[in-house]
Amino acid sequence: MKLLVNPSPEKWRKQLARPVQKSKEINKIVKPILKKVERTGDKALIKFAQEYDHVSLEQLIVSAAEIEAASKLVSDDLKEAIHTAQANIEKFHAAQASEELILEVMPGVTCKRKSVPIQRVGLYVPGGTAPLFSTVLMLGVPARLAGCREIVLCTPPNREGKIHPAILYTANRIGITKIIKVGGAQAVAALTFGTTSVPKVDKIFGPGNQYVTAAKQLATKYGVAIDMPAGPSEVLVYADESAVPAFVASDLLSQAEHGVDSQVVLVTPSEKFAKKVLKEINTQLEELSRKDIAFKALQNSTAVVMEDSSAAIDLINDYAPEHLIIAVENEEETVNAIYNAGSVFIGNYTPESAGDYASGTNHTLPTYGYARNYSGVSLDSFVKKMTYQKITPEGLKLLGPAVEIMAANEQLDAHKNAVTIRLNYLKENKK
């Protein structure tokens, strides 16, 4: 990790800049994949599985027998951990449900707003270097709670054509049985256009590599919504001398091991503390099974000494991290000053990995600075807010004149007439 001491905003913005996404080059690869899947459906998916996942598939849909067999391959300890996580995620997301709003805004004019589930959703769960069965919970639980009618899960198979048993077990436990063996941009394409095996959906959720991200953004041009733009995973830890250096180092490494393009940042008022953390990182790194990945991620990462707490807060809000860990003495004041972050972890005993798995919050979060204008996935992500209105004759008499005047001033005569014709009718038929 690089070490910066009291840098100017210009310097730290340059040093903390995310890796540039080569969108043009990536789209040149992804666009033909989408077109091929749109034209030839399952045939293209099987071809791409051979080409990219090095597996020959006869069937794309996971069978009931495969799902049943997976349960026997998951240890009791892992099952219990999944059950704990599921319970917490369900509690927190169920509490997010909003009551139907009904309000008479003026006599005879009633407005209503309620949540309606998105009917068909596609969940993308990466396989890659780590089978993210936790993502099945993070996406599947709120989709079920929201009442989505059709939930389709896509995840890449291994070279034997199998899905990790923990992914299948978790999906089946929360009631998702439509599971497709397809990954990458081609999975997004299948959910966008539909194939014989993969239903077309209304909205696509889930993290993925740069090709999956590019495919999701292209999918929006075909009338499909996505959860959010996303990039490599990231964490920023803001810690002072009240924090434990070993804890901070472990949090930075937990994010660095996600991938070589992950970015981790330490912000601290003390250079001495920063050096203690860097020393701990080097010690803990050697014990990691994915230390080569973490080591490469650390090359793109930075420790920033900011003696001025106000400047440190400015840096954090400007960077807008996906995950933000706050381990400082004046934590309440600091937390209240943050307005750009995907999810915030407060105190020495709140590791980011708790949110990744089992605390109850969602780990599908905006990256690459999108925390400035996007929220993480929640129950609201799986519903639409529809509004309704009902006006009585008396209500139209009260409201109508205002509508007529506004429509006339916008020179929309038909809009005005839609009210006038009704008001005239009421006058003519007055009892």
**Known binding positions for Zn(2+):** 255, 258, 356, 415
Which of 219, 233, 420, 410 is closest to 322 using CA atoms?
233
Residue ranges in 117-183 assigned as alpha helix (H): 133-146, 165-173
Of 323, 331, 333, 352, catalytic: 323
Q: What is the DSSP string of 240-252?
A: -TTS-HHHHHHHH
323 is catalytic: yes
Of 234, 257, 280, 322, catalytic: 322
- Residue list, annotated binding site: 124, 186, 209, 233, 255, 258, 323, 356, 410, 415
Which of 1, 20, 21, 17 is closest to 9 using CA atoms?
17
10 is catalytic: no
Which of 82, 73, 57 is closest to 164 using CA atoms?
73
Q: What single DSSP character describes residue 148?
A: -
- Residue list, annotated binding site for NAD(+): 124, 186, 209
**338 and 312 Cβ atoms separated by less than 8 Å:** no
- Intra-chain end-to-end CA distance of the chain, in Å: 83
Q: What is the DSSP string of 173-222?
A: HTT---EEE--HHHHHHHHHH--SSS---SEEE----HHHHHHHHHHGGG
Q: What is the DSSP string of 26-79?
A: HHHHHHHHHHHHHHHTHHHHHHHHHHHS----S--BPPHHHHHHHHHHS-HHHH
**317 and 340 Cβ atoms separated by less than 8 Å:** yes
Report the C-alpha gap between 83 and 80 in whole angstroms: 5
Report the C-alpha gap between 248 and 245 in whole angstroms: 5
Q: Which residues are catalytic?
A: 322-323
